[in-house]
Structures are given as structure tokens and as C-alpha cells.
Structure 1
């Protein structure tokens, strides 16, 4: 069933292209992605035991699993699949099968069943950047200024890699701090490619339905429905603002005009209140030169006109420069 669907469907290009150019199909595998059996994953999660649950979301539950070879993995159990969600899962499989980057979460396998699907990922042990920043239990050393810049640079480098991948540009479309996982060393790992699309390099944009998360979405993309890699740049600008300020991307407790962190931060800095806006730890540890450069980079990422935004490759290089200023 899945093999046929992979050969038949994809948003920007046909799966026939991917079957011949990307996926080397063989028994029990799609390229490097293993096809697990239902019983194998049931055993790995101790029959989906409550104490193996890592988290729950709108699309399903994530379990910790221990495979037969003793590898610890994360297993996402997706609920009953409609056509649209099935296509998203297939897109994620196609993308993650080919990506090999240390700052992108690895998809190890999948299992499609009548009532849903299971995706098996590498186990990333320290939760999300969103939780680290906003849970109220932050660890000062982990969120040092240099670590924040490092996490930003790692995430930016992964996105830059995706945007210039071989003959395709992979647009994530849901870049946010909740989709940046932290491993045992607090190294960043971009995750959740269900909303991603692939655009041939000779296409500047692709018209599609709007996907993303409130507070992170590129206003030009919302208005035109034309997605480019600059939609990811805008969303990354919001993540960088979170790292600078420690504030949530969307907060109804702020004044009505300031609910979105992006508009709040731009307004505050334009009115020369940068030092009042940033996280106290950042203010204490960053040099004035670093703060000014980081603020300028955020402004350019959040420019309402996507043509004025930098590429993710440029963002990566600028973050490296800012780190060296310290």
C-alpha cells in the first residue's frame, strides 16, 4: 500500500521522480528507512505502556521505545489517517530518507497499519527549545548567551542545508522553537517535516495552502499563498527573537498590538528599548556589539517583504560572526 502511494503522490513533484532518483526500494526498506512490523513496535513500547509516553499532540502520541538491538528510539503513533495527513507523512518519509545533517532529527523507520501509522525516530533526550525557554525551570548554564547563539547557528545551518539541497529546495514551513529538539549535549535538531514541501531549484516559489504556526508565519506567505525559502527565514527570525528575549512567540497576556513577539520586538527596538526587551541573562553576558548585530539580524529576518530578508546561508554566517565578537 505505502509503496504504491510513494510512487504516486507528492506535492511539488511526482513520487515517480523520487522513487528513481532518491529512494532505492528494497524489501523491508524505503531507501535507508526500515519498514517495521506492528508486533516489533508493540514490543518496543511494552504494548504502548503509559510510562513509555514522552508526549501527546493533536496528531498522536509519542512513545519511548527500545528496539531488539537495544537502541532507544522515539515512536510517534499517528491517529487515523485522512488523505491529506497520509500525504504529509509520505512527504516527511521522502525528505528524511535523504537528509543527512547532524542538526536534523533522523527518521529510522516507519510502520503503516489500517488505523494509522507509526514513525520511528532517533531518541532526542532533552525535549524542545520551546520547553527550555518557556517552562519556567531554565538552567542558567544551558541558556548562556554563547549557547543560545550556538543553538541558533546549528538550527540555521540545518535550514540552509535544506534550502540548497541538490536539485531541490526543501521548505520546512513550520520552523518554531517547539520543532527544535535538544539532544543530550543540548545540540539542536530540526524536527517535524510533515508540512514541508520540495521545490525544484529553478522555481522561485510555489503556490499552496497556508501551513504553519501562529506567531511564526510569514505575513507575505499568508497573503499570497506563495511559499519560498524566505518563509522559513521569517519563522527563524521569531525563534532568534525568543532566544534573545526569552518571551513566547504568541502571548495574549501582552497588549493587543504586542501579542505577536515579532511585532513587539521590532516596535520595542525601533523605540530604542532593546535593553528593556532582551532576557536579563543575555543582557549580562552579551557585548553591546553582539546585541546590536543580533538585533539587526532579527530585523532583517522579520522584514515584511521577503525579498529584503537574508538567505539562511547568510544568517548562518552572520551568527558565526556574532559568536566571534564575544
Structure 2
């Protein structure tokens, strides 16, 4: 033992260092080198993970969808063999594009990224028993996350790239929007060709189910509840039109897109057809989309879309809420198939009370009914410029005053008489009043 100790303390030829000191320095250098190698590989792994996640993101440039049809964005996802598949453009991404995607991922500021395996587990492998909605856009599943929160998972059908378009639109339109009457978008999933959106779960079905489903002799939707649903829906749309920049035109307002919670609070959903309208744009020209019976006539004929198109759709929805009838029902007699035409005819014949849904047990007061009927007429005015804004509609639904216009009529002698039989409203020219055919209907309801 003494000989070994003597050897370790012996001086070496390297700078006169003792052997034990030289061994210690060598071990320290080896450990430092090993730590440096580990750090290098961990950094490389982090960079690879960031690129993989960022490549699944989409471009958040609002300018791309302000005018014309939606542009397809390069939604990338790392695939087999380390290759990236792109939905648009070249199959390989430049380093600058990857850096931009990483920046977007860092700055997104809302929601979260869900993996496909997470959503499969939440929905029991997308079990059909968990389906809560189905349509041309895809399928919506009820899902339960590990923290026991319930969500709605919208699995978009990839029909000729439509899933990617709807994914992009919904994220850009309502990704950062928070409003009590708009369904909340919690997160998303984009793996390979899969595009999914994760929403808050609204637990009382759709307005369509409660209006047109089998609810018994009397509907649980009383007049007050229906008015509450109409006001909440109007507030949600008003926020899209007037509370955001760029403004959002929903383009598919209908009863199946109005979700209800247990307190009958409505939430507007399904923004897959939405369009963004910049501050300098009065309309956007696009391919006509929407649901038959709800689409504004001027949009259907010209493809020119703006907020007035949503106002018309809301007017049809309000008629549907009041009457309990579908916008188009081929099972009804001739003259009653189209809800708008039948509704206007009933008002013109002073039979407004007869448009009420017979399943409403307690009818509203004549004054309350007339006020809502007239709001319907104003929303569907054939002159889009004469339709009220959604904020005005909210005020009219909540207020007590009648939303009548002040009419100006030319007499046979050429004199102009102002008719103020009801409360104040927006003035219109005699030509417009005659053209729309609403003036006589409004005057009759004042009596």
C-alpha cells in the first residue's frame, strides 16, 4: 500500500505535476467532454421537436383571405423517413419557412396542440356512440380529456382539400375570439392528412333539434326562452360584425349551428364557411355557399357577400324560432313551402298571430309579437342596404320600442307626407319603400 501511495505522489515529467493531480485533471476533462456531447445531442433533439410541431401549424396571415376564395396554405407535418408533406407548394420547406413556422408557434397565444393519439383516447378511438353531430363538413365527437373535461372534437372530412380550408378559416376566424355567445375553440390537431378542431362542449343540443324534434304536446321553448335565444344569437353575430377587426361574416347562420346549454344560452358555431372582411372592404366576392332557405337573394345572384347577408339569414332564423317551421318544407301545401314567402303573406293579410308555433303554450302579448314580427321583416328587406345592423337588431329585440321606419310617401298632388304612426326608425325613400313591399306591411302592423 505504501509503495502505491508513493507512486501516485511521484512527480511526472508533465509540468512537474504529481501523478494523482494529472489523473484528476484527465478525469475532469473527460467528464466535461462527455457533458458537452450530451448537451449537443439534447439541443439537436429539441430543435427537431420544435420543427415537427411548428410544421403542423398554419399561416396566420389574415390578409390572405380578405378578398376572393381562400388560398391553400402550406400546412406541413413531419412524415415517415423524416420527409415533410405539404398541402401546397414544394414538398420540402426552406429553412426560412421553418423558422417562420416556429415563430408562429411561439406567438400563437391561445389554445393548444393536441396529438392524434390524445384525441383518439378522448373519443374512444372515434367510437360512433360518441358522435354528437354529422354533416358534409365532417363528424363531431364527444370527448373526455385526461383531466375529465368534456370537449367536442370536430373531425373534418378531407374532400379535395376542403378540410384544410375549413381548418384554416375556423382557426383564423375564431381562434382568439372569446364571447359568451360564440362557441369557444380550445385547440387543434394536424397530423398527416388529419385536420381536427377541439371546441368547448355545449351540453343541450342544437336549436334545430328543439324546434323540429319530437318534444311533446308543448315545447319547452317558451316565448321568453325563444326570445332569449334570439337575443343571444344576435349578440354573438353582432360581435363578429362589429367587435372584431377584420370583421367576420359567418355565411352559414342556421338553427343547426346554434348550440344551447342547459340554461338555454345560445352559442353560434361552425365557422367553416366564414369570410374575413377588412376595414376598407364593403363586400367580398366569393363562391356562393350556405344553406338553402337561409341565403340572402342578392348574395345568391351575385356572389357579393357582406354583413347584410348574415342579417338576412338571421331574419329567416328568427322566423323559424317564432313559427317552429323549417325555412323550406316540401311537405307543406303550395304557398307554404318557403317560410319567407308564407311569413310575408301572413303579415300582409294581417294574420300575424297565426304564424306562432302552436307548441308555444303561453302566447306573447300582441305588442311583443308585433315588434318581433317587424324585426323579421326588416332583416329580410329585399334592399340589403335597408337591413339593420346586428347591433341595432339586438337593441330592438331587447327594447320596448317598435322598430318601424319613418315613411315618406308621394301623394297624387306630388306632396310628401311623413308617416310617423309608430316609433322612430331609419328613413327610406318612397321608391325603396315601394320596391321592397314592406311599407304597407309595416303600416298594417301599426294599426
Same fold (TM over 0.5): yes
1:104 aligned to 2:182? yes
Alpha-carbon displacement from aligned partner over 1:143-187 (angstroms, at most 9, x marks no partner): 111111111000001111110134321100000011000012211
Give 1:137 shift. 1.3
2:35 alignment counterpart: none
Contact 1:169 1:199 in 2 (8 A): yes
Alpha-carbon displacement from aligned partner over 1:19-51 (angstroms, at most 9, x marks no partner): xxxxx8335x84312110111111111112232
How many Å separate the matches in 1 of 2:345 and 2:270? 31
2:104 alignment counterpart: 25
1:119 aligned to 2:197? yes
TM-score (norm 2): 0.66
1:198 aligned to 2:276? yes
Give the direction of change, closer, same or farther, for the CA distance of 1:9–1:309 in structure 2 (3 Å limit): closer
How many Å separate the matches in 2 of 1:166 and 1:253? 41
Q: Secondary structure of 1:26's match?
A: helix
1:180 aligned to 2:234? no
1:280 aligned to 2:358? yes
Pairing 1:20-99 to 2, within 5 Å after superposition: 25-26=104-105, 30-99=108-177
How many Å separate the matches in 1 of 2:333 and 2:318? 21
Give 1:277 shift. 1.8
Alpha-carbon displacement from aligned partner over 1:294-315 (angstroms, at most 9, x marks no partner): 1111001011111111110010
Alpha-carbon displacement from aligned partner over 1:100-146 (angstroms, at most 9, x marks no partner): 10010001111112233111110111110011000021585731111
Contact 1:25 1:31 in 2 (8 A): no
How many Å separate the matches in 2 of 1:220 and 1:257? 22
Structure of larger gyration radius: 2
1:189 aligned to 2:267? yes
How many Å separate the matches in 2 of 1:175 and 1:93? 18
Give the direction of change, closer, same or farther, for the CA distance of 1:323–1:53 in structure 2 (3 Å limit): farther
How many Å separate the matches in 1 of 2:163 and 2:116? 20
1:231 aligned to 2:325? no
Give 1:285 shift. 2.4
Give 1:9 shift. 7.9
Contact 1:182 1:189 in 2 (8 A): yes
1:11 aligned to 2:11? no
How many Å separate the matches in 1 of 2:349 and 2:357? 17
Give 1:271 shift. 1.4
How many Å separate the matches in 1 of 2:189 and 2:217? 37
Contact 2:218 2:360 in 1 (8 A): no
TM-score (norm 1): 0.90
1:135 aligned to 2:213? yes
How many Å separate the matches in 1 of 2:61 and 2:143? 30
1:146 alignment counterpart: 224
2:39 alignment counterpart: none
How many Å separate the matches in 1 of 2:295 and 2:62? 30
Alpha-carbon displacement from aligned partner over 1:53-88 (angstroms, at most 9, x marks no partner): 223222222111111221100111122253344122
Which structure exhibits the higher relative contact order, with contacts defined as CA atoms closer than 8 Å and separated by 6 or more residues? 1
Give the direction of change, closer, same or farther, for the CA distance of 1:35–1:138 in structure 2 (3 Å limit): farther
**Please, which runs of 5 or more residues in structure 2 have no aligned partner?**
1-54, 74-102, 403-447
Give 1:218 shift. 0.2
Q: Secondary structure of 1:25's match?
A: helix
**Please, which runs of 5 or more residues in structure 1 have no aligned partner?**
17-23
2:294 alignment counterpart: 216
2:406 alignment counterpart: none
Give 1:323 shift. 10
Give 1:202 shift. 2.5
Contact 1:81 1:115 in 2 (8 A): no
How many Å separate the matches in 2 of 1:182 and 1:53? 17
Contact 2:222 2:362 in 1 (8 A): no
Contact 2:56 2:191 in 1 (8 A): no
Contact 1:128 1:179 in 2 (8 A): yes
